[in-house]
Structures are given as structure tokens and as C-alpha cells.
């Protein structure tokens, strides 16, 4: 892509991060004492915020159909037991996340449900494909029925200081999304410093807004693809939340957040929710503004709900893997 083809997108100012204080504050969120009733609420809320994900080379239509069944009804036997005891059943997850070629399969399997379809277009996970191919990938996924697009930025361009190029690709992908929402994956494990994470977050938000007016939840920033470690560490997520907070104060638009990669336990998920509440407020504690990108988290959430409501842990194989 030539420099002349770049859109004229103003770059955000750099905001240095106190990494020591960010780490200390982030660590504090995992030490909160939570009552059993609040924990049950938080676990169920986390289920509704989960993007149930399969992004493997061996993915098949049948695996995606199985994933969709679990997305709609994550734990049928547990839900029946809860309803028999006069309690609410387990809710559906927020979305399933699949490769573009499996979006149509997911659309058919999820027909009539409230579960959204997210697709990792734009040359996931490397982001190294030519821009025109990535844009075609986005349009095709949206045309097949994707409600949300999880794009990955070109980290090579970002780390080389070609920020205008990164901003340009984000704005063009946002435009290609049409009515679909956009989640911008920063791949924070490759950005090296919290200063870089903060600048990439600000850049992603500014670029997405440059593509046109945005409503609450139209744009998310996301930590990672799940293919690189470290991923959604607490300090990284905190810095990204602070970028979202500052964007809201400047524009009045609520940007969403999606930590992904490495969040495998209910305890870790609840710590993230506490951090969101204390950094952004209760408005962000809903699926259209906060998501977990997870392939293994859901079953631990279900096991913890079962423990709270039945007095004992469910076996690991009580819940399906897909």
C-alpha cells in the first residue's frame, strides 16, 4: 500500500503509563472478597459475556454445530436441576467466534437464538495478508451472516512506527464491516510495553471512529488472538480500560473491551469484572460492551455455578467441551 493511499487520520497523543502502579492496581482487583450471592450473579454474568470460540485448523461444520448447541444451552442438565429448585437456568453465551468459512454453518445452527456470530476475518492470526484481501474477507463474512468482526492489526507495521498505515487499515475494515460491530485485536503480547499497549488502544479507537459515527458497543478493543503469550494479563487489560474511559470522556461513546487468551478460571474472570466495574462503572457490565474470548473458561464458570447451587463441584466431564 502506498503512502499516498492512506486516509488522513489524526494520530492520538502518546500517554505514558506508570507500569509499576498499573501492575499494583491491577493486582488489587483479584483480592476482593465477594459474597456467595454476588459470586453467583458474577458467574452468570460472565457466561452471558463469553464468546465461545473455536479457531483451529481442524474446525469442521459439525464441530461448529456442536459449539452452537452449547452456546445456546451451555449446561442442559444443570439448568434443569436449577429450574427444579426454583432457580434461573444457565443463560446463553454472547456469541460464537469462528473462521469466515464457517459463518454460514453457524448462522443456520443459531437461527432463532440470541447468540451472535463473530468471525476472525482479516488474515487471522498474523494480519499479514494484503489489505484488499482482508477487506474482501470482512465483506464476505458479514454477507454470510457475521454480526461482529474480530480483526487483527499488522503488528509489524505498528512496531516499525508506521502508525498511519495501521490507522488506515482499521478505518477501512470498520467501513467494510457495514452494520457489523468491529473488535480490533492488538496482540498485546507482541507490543512489548504498556506504553505501546496504551498507544495502540488509543490509535485503534481513533481510527475506528474516523470511519464514521459509532454508537455504544460498535467498536471494541481486544487484547489478543489467543495464539500468543502473554495475552490478557490484568495490567494490560487495565491500561486498555483506561483508554476506553478516556475515549468516553472525550466523545461520550462507550467502546467495548474483550480480553482474550489465558483467562481459564472463574476466579480470573471475576477479577476482570471487578476491574471493569471499578475502572469504567456498571454501564460496561453487559455483553454489548464487555466480552471474554475463551475456549476453556465456560466450563469452569459452569462448575462454579453448580458448586454454589448444589453444594459440591461437578466433575470436569459433566460439561461438554464443545
Instruction: Tell me how far apart the alpha carbons of residues 45 and 286 are, in angstroms, rounded to a whole number.
Output: 8
- 222 given a catalytic annotation: yes
- 39 given a catalytic annotation: no
Task: Report the relative pairing of strands 292-294 and 95-98 from DSSP bridges.
Answer: unpaired
Please pick, among 70, 183, 258, 300, the residue that the annotation labels catalytic: 258
Using H for helix, E for strand and C for coil, what is the string for 46-79?
HHHCEEEECCCCCCCHHHHHHHHHHHHCCCHHHH
Is the Cβ–Cβ distance between 120 and 150 less than 8 Å?
Answer: yes
- 150 given a catalytic annotation: yes
Q: Which residues of 202-222 are buried (b: 16+ CB within 10 A; e: fewer)?
A: bbbbbbbbbbeebebbbbbbb
Please pick, among 150, 168, 202, 300, the residue that the annotation labels catalytic: 150
Tell me how many degrees the CA angle 34-226-174 measures, rounded to the nearest 5. 100
Residues annotated as part of the active site? 150, 222, 258
Amino acid at each position: 500500500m502506498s503512502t499516498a493511499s492512506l486516509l488522513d487520520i489524526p494520530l492520538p497523543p502518546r500517554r505514558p503509563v506508570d507500569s509499576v502502579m498499573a501492575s499494583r492496581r491491577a493486582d488489587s482487583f483479584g483480592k476482593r472478597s465477594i459474597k456467595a450471592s454476588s459470586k453467583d450473579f458474577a458467574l452468570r454474568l460472565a457466561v452471558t459475556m463469553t464468546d465461545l470460540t473455536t479457531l483451529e485448523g481442524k474446525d469442521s461444520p459439525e464441530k461448529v454445530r456442536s459449539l452452537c448447541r452449547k452456546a445456546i444451552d451451555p449446561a442442559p442438565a444443570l439448568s434443569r436441576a436449577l429450574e427444579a429448585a426454583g432457580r434461573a437456568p444457565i443463560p446463553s453465551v454472547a456469541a460464537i467466534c469462528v473462521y469466515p468459512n464457517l459463518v454460514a454453518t453457524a448462522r443456520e445452527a443459531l437461527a432463532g437464538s440470541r447468540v451472535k456470530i463473530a468471525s476472525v476475518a482479516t488474515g487471522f492470526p498474523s494480519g499479514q495478508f494484503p489489505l484488499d484481501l482482508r477487506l474482501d474477507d470482512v465483506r464476505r463474512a458479514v454477507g454470510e451472516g457475521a454480526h461482529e468482526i474480530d480483526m487483527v492489526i499488522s503488528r509489524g507495521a505498528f512496531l516499525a512506527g508506521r502508525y498511519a498505515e495501521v490507522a488506515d487499515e482499521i478505518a477501512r475494515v470498520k467501513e467494510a464491516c457495514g452494520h457489523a460491530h468491529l473488535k480490533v485485536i492488538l496482540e498485546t503480547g507482541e507490543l512489548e510495553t504498556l506504553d505501546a499497549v496504551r498507544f495502540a488502544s488509543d490509535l485503534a479507537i481513533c481510527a475506528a471512529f474516523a470511519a464514521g459515527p459509532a454508537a455504544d458497543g460498535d467498536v471494541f478493543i481486544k487484547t489478543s488472538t489467543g495464539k500468543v503469550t502473554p495475552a490478557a494479563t490484568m495490567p494490560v487489560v487495565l491500561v486498555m480500560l483506561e483508554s476506553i474511559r478516556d475515549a468516553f470522556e472525550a466523545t461520550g461513546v462507550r467502546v467495548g473491551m474483550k480480553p482474550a487468551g489465558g483467562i481459564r478460571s472463574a476466579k480470573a474472570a471475576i477479577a476482570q469484572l471487578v476491574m471493569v466495574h471499578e475502572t469504567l462503572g456498571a454501564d460496561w457490565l453487559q455483553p454489548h460492551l464487555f466480552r471474554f474470548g475463551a475456549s476453556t473458561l465456560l466450563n469452569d464458570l459452569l462448575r462454579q455455578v453448580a458448586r454454589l447451587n448444589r453444594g459440591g463441584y461437578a466433575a470436569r466431564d459433566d460439561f461438554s467441551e464443545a
